Amino acid sequence: MEILNWRRPDACGEGASCPEVAIGPDAVYVRSSLLPDAIAQLTPTEWRDLVSAIRNGEYDA
């Protein structure tokens, strides 16, 4: 796997439990700062669908 530049939301600061995202040339990678070795790989379309669903509240309890 290529070297990835992981980013986290500004709201997390230096918190220990934050989502982290890295954008590669052909994929978007997502992980939790609690489990940095557990990385999900999404296509750009899957990433857009996930972000859209979150924004639309589809995962709200």
Cβ neighbors of 58 (< 8 A, separation 6 or more) are none
Per-residue confidence (pLDDT) for residue 6, from 0 to 100: 94
Per-residue confidence (pLDDT) for residue 23, from 0 to 100: 95
Phi, psi of 46 (to 5 degrees): -60, -40
Q: Higher pLDDT residue, 1 or 25?
A: 25
Decide if pLDDT at 13 tops 70: yes
Q: Higher pLDDT residue, 27 or 2?
A: 27
- Structure token pair of residue 22: 């890295």
Decide if pLDDT at 60 tops 90: yes
Q: Record the pTM.
A: 0.81
> How much of the chain is in helix, strand and coil states, percent to nearest 5?
25, 30, 45
Per-residue confidence (pLDDT) for residue 61, from 0 to 100: 81
